[in-house]
Amino acid sequence: MKFRLSHLPQILFDAVILAFSLYVSFQLRFEGAIPSSDWQLFTSGVLIIVLLKLIVFFVSGLYDRMWRYVSTRELRVLALDVLIATALSVIPLYYLSRSAFPRSVLVIDALLTVLLVGGARFFVRYVYELQKHRSIMAESVPALIFGAGDSGEVIVREMLKHPEVKYDPIGFVDDDPAKQGRRIHGVQVLGTHRDIARLAAKHEVEEVVIAIPSAPSSVIRDVVAICDEAGVRCKTLPGMFELIDGTVDLNQIRDINVEDLLGREPVKIDVAEAEAYLKQAVVLVTGGAGSIGSELCRQIVRFNPKQLIILDHNENDTYYLYLELSQRHPDLDLKIVIGDIKDASLLDYTFGKYKPEVIFHAAAHKHVPLMQENITAAVSNNVLGSRNLMVAAEAHGIKRFVLISTDKAVDPTGIMGTTKRIAEMAMQSRCRDAACGTTFMAVRFGNVIGSNGSVAPIFRKQIEAGGPVTVTHPEATRYFMSVPEAVKLVLQAGAIGRGGEVFLLDMGEPVKIIDLARNLIRLSGLRPDVDIKIEFTGLRQGEEITEDLVGVKETVTATKQDKVLVVQDGGFDYNGFAGQLATLEALASRHDVAGLDAQMSEMVPTYKVTGEVASSPAAQTPRNDAERASE
């Protein structure tokens, strides 16, 4: 080790410490009354002991170590250095004192040296970390944690362990009376959520973190309103339906979104059932780049499939999803097929090449206003494309086929809903054959908030533009479900299907569109009807104030899975369906709009014939919430 001038202050400091250590050792040995003969031993031996220790310290590299980062490793090195130096000092001290140098002094001095020299270095580290902590905490966000349970404990522990995340947990709030005044990791439960405003003012709190994944939306709405009134930001952890394994961490803290306010209870699926048919299976998702399809892919990969195949005609979004999944799951065997479900030869080639075992069919034209004026496209994709998939699935021995349907298929009056209902009928007709080797099923759910083109993103754009936010009717209500929640239930339905079922996902209670709009405005930090105006556009032809989840001739029965129901319908003419479908295909091939209108009305009596071609969207009144929610 080469001597540097920067070593000198450390060496001088240690020299003083080592001399002091030896002096205290003599005092302890003789209980404060050192005999004159032993005092002479101290004065003659201190130079030898100090010099030997400094030499050993220097040779071992002790002076090249930065004190602010000292650890137990440096303490072990120091202890070994002291042991070596003490052993080396025995010989010169023996000749100096003729065996009279107290051996107990050497033992005491060795222990004190480790304590004092090591302690000095750890003190420097402590002061450095204290200053660093104070500097970080000066920039940290004072936060209250709502929920002194398991998730709250994890969040506070991580905040204290990682001050660089710049959260300063001021205290907990929890509505459990038994937890009041208790402490977790030194952080006290200061009150209930009703005390947030008072505590925020008292402790200058800037943020409230809701650390209860299972918190009812009514409570979340209450907390959001209190925080809004107090001028405090409110964040939360993901809901239970977003957590496959139920675990949370600090990185999952996020802003409150509209899904948190919908009034939905947490969804729990039987993970073992879903894993049983997805683990080590070859799974294909059509429309995999869409809102539902992409979330299906994200959740499927958590069950460790043997291979995941994404089929979509949207090259850009598919590529982005490919990058996302490849980065998050580098070991995933992921295949991409850019193509269209209307291409029967492509489906036959793809199924023969990859041999999928499970298919989730999420590809569909879903935008209601656009389908009203593009009946041929709706029929070709939603009906005939779905038929192509089912034929290929059966021909290639696919084990499970899950058709993603919609509540718009319930007594449909419009083109999009009618085509989805006919796709359901095509699925049911295949299951009439006992020889069918594929388990076909369909899953219906309502408006998926946050999906492409749904009401929430469009409301947000209107808010960003300064308003107004357009709503059809002050009493209009719709059923809503989040994308992750819908997909979880789809996976569960796929596990319990036995063939031919149309499953209905329990959508909970309907939500007033006006309340949804106001909540979104508040979440943007603005005031409804003050900063952002809300305008009512009126119901358009075919729109209703409320939506139905079950048709007039349909009934529902419960399944063993909570929130998954089976629809029992009045049936249809299975024997004549194949001929009707062939007629529909022939009409679509020559773009016979009037013929398609009449044929669809015959197949689905509730369908309202468009006449010829609906007027273009540009000529229509502004799209309102019912249209957006159904997209």
Number of Cβ within a 10 Å radius of residue 511? 25
pLDDT at 97: 65
pLDDT digits (tens, 9 = 90+) for 124-143: 887 877 776 666 555 678 88
Q: Which domains, and CATH codes, for the chain?
A: 7-136 (no CATH), 140-256 (3.40.50.720), 271-630 (3.40.50.720)
Q: Is the pLDDT of residue 621 over 50?
A: no
Q: Which tokens go with 26?
A: 């003599």
Helix/strand/coil for 285 = strand
| Cα–Cα nearest to 565, from 488, 484, 496, 478 | 496
**What average pLDDT score do residues 459-475 get?**
87
**What average pLDDT score do residues 196-221 get?**
85
Number of Cβ within a 10 Å radius of residue 323? 10
**Separation in Å, CA 134 to CA 66, 203, 424, 430:** 21, 17, 63, 69
Identify the bridge partners of residue 210 per DSSP, sorted by sequence position.
146, 236
Kindly provide the b/e burial profile for residues 44-71, where b requires at least 16 CB atoms within 10 angstroms of the residue's own CB.
ebbebbbebbbebbbebebbebeeeebe
Q: Is the pLDDT of residue 628 over 60?
A: no
pLDDT digits (tens, 9 = 90+) for 270-282: 778 888 999 999 9
pLDDT band for 573, please (50, 70, 90 cuts).
confident
* Listed range (388-402, 418-432, 467-481) with the worst mean pLDDT: 467-481
**Catalytic: which of 53, 408, 488, 563?**
408
Please say if 166 is a catalytic residue.
no
C-alpha angle 290/293/297, rounded to 5°?
A: 125
Q: Is the pLDDT of residue 455 over 70?
A: yes
Contact 90, 109 (CB under 8 A): no
